[in-house]
């Protein structure tokens, strides 16, 4: 019987006895749960599991029952990984740690995204488990020291590469042209020994670690092929009579063992450089934040201070040409600020009193003082960096298939190599053993799981990074992979097609008997609403109204808001709400409405339980980019629909101006959700674009959800893609980026598969009966090294492609 894994999960302090019984009954039904017991006094759930991955199912069940579970998610740099199979090994190691719920290790970015229970496991435990498996996990939050560590490792690789080739070049010349020179075998033995056991030591150490963990990777293939070639050569050199007595000549393969390692070291060095370039977008973002900032002291003096010492509320000075240090609000002075590195927009933005500024942006010619509002990890820049890191560490669906292939690749290659040796030894005639041995070594050398492992993540890293540089934040790899399939984009109106800065054009007072009271009521009720139209009304009335603080406010989802003053009830909302309460529309209002609808104005009604008190006309200007964005989507054969809670005439007028295909007006949040479901049932791949809380369910249902950067935090949290600048033209760019990235992934996978499908049979000697060609192991090593590099370089081509 396998060992049980014991876990203790904290439960809410409000837990009752009845809840404890329900939890035990529910969790006992989860597969691989041996037993579950709630300790009510301590508010803990004690578990015994047969498999650690059952913990994630338990947590999901608890969440579905309405209990909040503290879950941490962090991206950790993983060190000492040498190939794609290593990523699978590290994933397996971390998945077996109690308290770990989910793991994604990305070989290209050398990072592991871990979702875990912080009350059960801490990063130090994760680090120890990874180290026990022969790798390392970096837990310090010091990016500079990590970069220094990587740079030192790269320089060490460079020194090893130079040292190996200084010995490999004469070894290659002797092996190819002067094999019969006096003491040639001994000279090659001397030259190859330090290459194999000093410069190539990492391959043997890595293979031993894999063997201890009962796994295999690229190191296994290199160590086997070069180690056996070296040992076989030493035996043949020292005991030539063994083969001569059997009528055969014992060849030596010192040059193959040494040059193969030199080529692989070259390939790894080039690969590391290329991977570093693939991750350059993160480095660029991290480099945007200055190390120091000028603080304005209470006495007016200026003090240069470390960025880490800034706290919310500090007054800071932005001089011409300086980067903004933290997110804040301008309180004195004005200037233009270049926000292109965050929004992707090329034009500087004017900043004056009370305007927001963001960390990493560049102040132009003027200077101003601003108050720190968000610092450290809370700034927009820090959030962008975290989002890009998580996205680059995530895996696309196609990568899961590649990971499965990589996990069985090495055992299959070793089997093919042994089979090739047996076939040659059996049917190869006099030189069968020699040719079989060469085929065995060459198959091990030429096989390359790294190219397969790098094909998808390197393209995704570059694609996601390029999106961030253009103001398009992509939350995960799956979104980037799916976006190119879109054939329907659904848009919200307010704040998406329009600018989201509505202003009151006219207020038509039907009942003027208590206008001052009603004005204050209207102002006070709308103060409690988060809708953009409410803000427009508040701004229009704030000079004439007084705030009434004793009102009871209730939201009516998708229709409006209700305010209660004593025994009186007042409503602000759309005509659907008014009709549902059987409020009649006065003739004077009808004629006024016709005039407003001609200008595509939105109308809001203010009424009590008996009559209309006032109607408010609100205009929200259509974004200059909306029409071009819709045209670009049409050019890509993508249909565009608009769903809005606004009146039909206003919605139709906006849709006509922007040339939208389908319009649905007076739509409730649940109806947006249903419409997307209906379109998906008809075979559409749907993107929902919104910016408000009322869009969150529709965003969650869509195949791809896109939030506008100025929208609500809820919408941005749900969305898979965020457009920082709120420019609709970024949506076609995101789709184009997806198409380019997916095309690059397919090219990479094609060449990685074809390389192995063609290379392994040639290495086994399939061409020898046809034209007498046998591939030399050292050229197989060169081909293997270049295969990985070519995949990364192909991904890097994305960086120079234009998506604008």
Q: Looking at the annotation, which residues are catalytic?
A: 492
Q: Is residue 416 classed as helix, strand or coil in its secondary structure? A: helix
- Strand, helix or coil at 638? coil
Chain centroid offset of residue 362 CA: 26
The label of the residue with tokens 């992707």 reads 344
| 388 vs 273: CA distance, rounded Å | 20
Residue located via tokens 């009510």 = 40
What is the residue whose two structure tokens read 């995204």?
113
CA-wise closest residue to 719 among 692, 740, 681, 742? 692
String of DSSP letters for 536-550 = HHHHHHTTT----TT
Residue 693, CA atoms < 13 Å, CB-side half-sphere:
7
Q: Is 566 helix (H, G, I), strand (E, B) or coil?
A: coil
Cα-trace Rg, the chain? 33
Q: How far is CA 453 from the centre of its chain?
A: 17
> Nearest to residue 264, comparing CAs of 207, 215, 226, 210?
226
End-to-end CA distance of the chain: 60
Contact between 133 and 90 (Cβ < 8 Å) = yes
Question: Side by side, which strands form the sheet with 356-357?
Answer: 302-306, 292-296, 315-318, 368-374, 327-333, 356-357
Residue pair 48/34 in contact (Cβ under 8 Å)? The answer is yes
Helix (H) or strand (E) holding 304: strand 302-306
Burial 470-508 (b: 16+ CB within 10 A, else e): bbbbbbbbbbbbbbbebebbbbbbbbbbbbbebebeebb
E strands, 620-763, where? 639-643, 662-664, 686-690, 704-708, 721-723
- Classify residue 623 by its DSSP letter: P
| Whether the Cβ atoms of residue 603 and residue 615 lie closer than 8 Å to each other | yes
- Name the H helices within 513-647: 515-526, 532-541, 575-580, 587-598, 626-635
Distance CA 40, CA 522 (A): 50
Alpha-carbon torsion (64, 69, 74, 80), positive or negative: negative
Label the pairing between strands 662-664 and 639-643: parallel
Calculate the alpha carbon distances from 659 to 248, 582, 685, 713 in Å: 82, 35, 21, 30
Angstrom CA distances, 685 to 106, 395, 630, 680, stand at 28, 20, 17, 6
Burial of 385 (0-12, 13-18, 19+ CB in 10 A): buried
Q: How far apart are CA 403 and CA 405, in angstroms?
A: 5
Q: Are 521 and 570 in contact (CB under 8 A)?
A: yes
């Amino acid at each position: 019987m396998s060992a049980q894994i014991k876990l203790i999960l904290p439960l809410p302090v409000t837990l009752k006895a009845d809840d404890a019984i329900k939890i035990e009954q529910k969790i006992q039904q989860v597969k691989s749960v041996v037993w579950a017991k709630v300790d009510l006094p301590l508010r803990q759930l004690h578990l015994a599991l047969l498999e650690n991955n059952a913990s994630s199912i338990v947590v999901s069940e608890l969440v579905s029952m309405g209990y909040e579970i503290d879950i941490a998610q962090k991206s950790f740099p993983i060190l000492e990984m040498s190939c794609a199979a290593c990523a699978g090994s590290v994933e397996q190691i971390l998945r077996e740690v109690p308290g770990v719920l989910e793991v994604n290790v990305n070989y290209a970015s050398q990072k592991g995204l871990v979702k875990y229970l912080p009350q059960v496991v801490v990063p130090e435990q994760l680090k120890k488990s990874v180290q026990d498996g022969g790798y390392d996990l970096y837990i310090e939050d010091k990016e500079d020291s990590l970069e220094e560590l990587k740079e030192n490792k790269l320089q060490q690789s460079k020194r090893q590469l130079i040292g190996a080739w200084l010995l490999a070049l004469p070894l290659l010349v002797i092996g190819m042209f002067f094999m019969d020179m006096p003491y040639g075998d001994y000279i090659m033995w001397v030259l190859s020994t330090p290459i194999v056991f000093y410069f190539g030591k990492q391959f043997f150490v890595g293979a031993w670690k894999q063997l201890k963990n009962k796994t295999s990777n690229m190191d296994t293939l290199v160590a086997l092929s070069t180690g056996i070639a070296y040992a076989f050569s030493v035996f043949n050199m020292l005991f030539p009579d063994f083969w001569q007595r059997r009528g055969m000549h014992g060849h030596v393969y010192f040059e193959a063992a040494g040059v193969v390692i030199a080529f692989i070291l070259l390939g790894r060095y080039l690969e590391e450089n290329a991977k570093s370039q693939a991750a350059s977008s993160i480095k660029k973002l991290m480099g945007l934040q200055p190390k120091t900032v000028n603080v304005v002291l209470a006495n007016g003096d200026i003090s240069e201070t470390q960025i880490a010492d800034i706290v919310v509320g500090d007054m800071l000075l932005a001089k011409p040409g300086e980067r903004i240090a933290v997110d804040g609000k301008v309180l004195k002075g004005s200037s233009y600020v270049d926000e292109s590195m965050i929004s992707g927009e090329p034009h500087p933005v004017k900043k004056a009193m009370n305007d927001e500024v963001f960390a990493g942006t560049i102040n132009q010619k003027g200077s101003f003082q601003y108050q720190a509002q968000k610092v450290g990890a809370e700034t927009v820049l820090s959030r962008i960096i975290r989002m890009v890191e998580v996205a680059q560490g995530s895996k696309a669906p196609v990568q899961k298939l590649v990971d499965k292939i990589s996990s069985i690749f090495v055992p299959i290659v070793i089997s093919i190599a042994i089979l090739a040796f047996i076939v040659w030894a059996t049917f190869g005639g006099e030189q069968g053993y020699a040719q079989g041995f060469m085929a065995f070594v060459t198959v091990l050398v030429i096989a390359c799981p790294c190219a397969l492992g790098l094909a998808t993540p390197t393209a995704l890293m570059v694609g996601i990074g390029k999106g961030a540089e253009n103001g398009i934040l992509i939350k995960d790899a799956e979104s980037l992979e799916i976006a190119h399939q879109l054939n329907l984009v659904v848009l919200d109106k307010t704040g998406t097609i329009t600018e989201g800065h509505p202003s009151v054009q006219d207020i038509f007072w039907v009942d003027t008997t208590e206008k001052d009271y009603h004005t204050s009521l209207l102002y006070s009720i709308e103060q409690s609403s988060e809708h953009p139209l409410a803000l427009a009304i508040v701004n229009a009335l704030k000079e004439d109204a007084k705030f009434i603080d004793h009102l009871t406010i209730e939201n009516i989802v998708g229709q409006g808001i209700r305010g209660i003053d004593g025994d009186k009830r007042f409503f602000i909302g759309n005509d659907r709400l008014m009709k549902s309460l059987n409020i009649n529309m006065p003739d004077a209002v009808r004629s006024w409405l016709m005039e407003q609808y001609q200008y595509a104005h939105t109308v809001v009604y203010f009424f009590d339980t008996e009559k209309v008190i006032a109607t408010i006309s609100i205009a929200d200007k259509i974004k200059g980019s909306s029409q071009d964005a819709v045209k670009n989507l049409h050019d890509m054969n993508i249909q565009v629909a608009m769903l809005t809670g606004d009146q039909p005439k206003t919605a139709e007028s906006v849709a006509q101006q922007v040339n939208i295909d389908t319009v649905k007006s007076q739509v409730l949040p649940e109806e947006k959700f249903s419409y997307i479901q209906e379109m998906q049932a008809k075979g559409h791949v749907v993107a929902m674009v919104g910016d408000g809380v009322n869009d969150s369910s529709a965003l969650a249902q869509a195949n791809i959800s896109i939030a506008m950067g100025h929208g609500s935090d809820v919408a941005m949290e749900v969305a898979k893609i965020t457009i920082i600048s709120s420019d609709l033209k970024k949506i076609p760019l995101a789709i184009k980026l997806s198409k380019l990235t997916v095309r690059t992934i397919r090219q990479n996978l094609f060449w990685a598969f074809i390389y192995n499908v063609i290379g392994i049979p040639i290495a086994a000697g399939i061409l020898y009966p046809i034209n007498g060609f046998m591939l030399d192991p050292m050229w197989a090593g060169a081909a293997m090294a270049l295969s990985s590099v070519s995949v990364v370089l192909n991904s890097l081509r994305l960086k120079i492609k234009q998506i604008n």
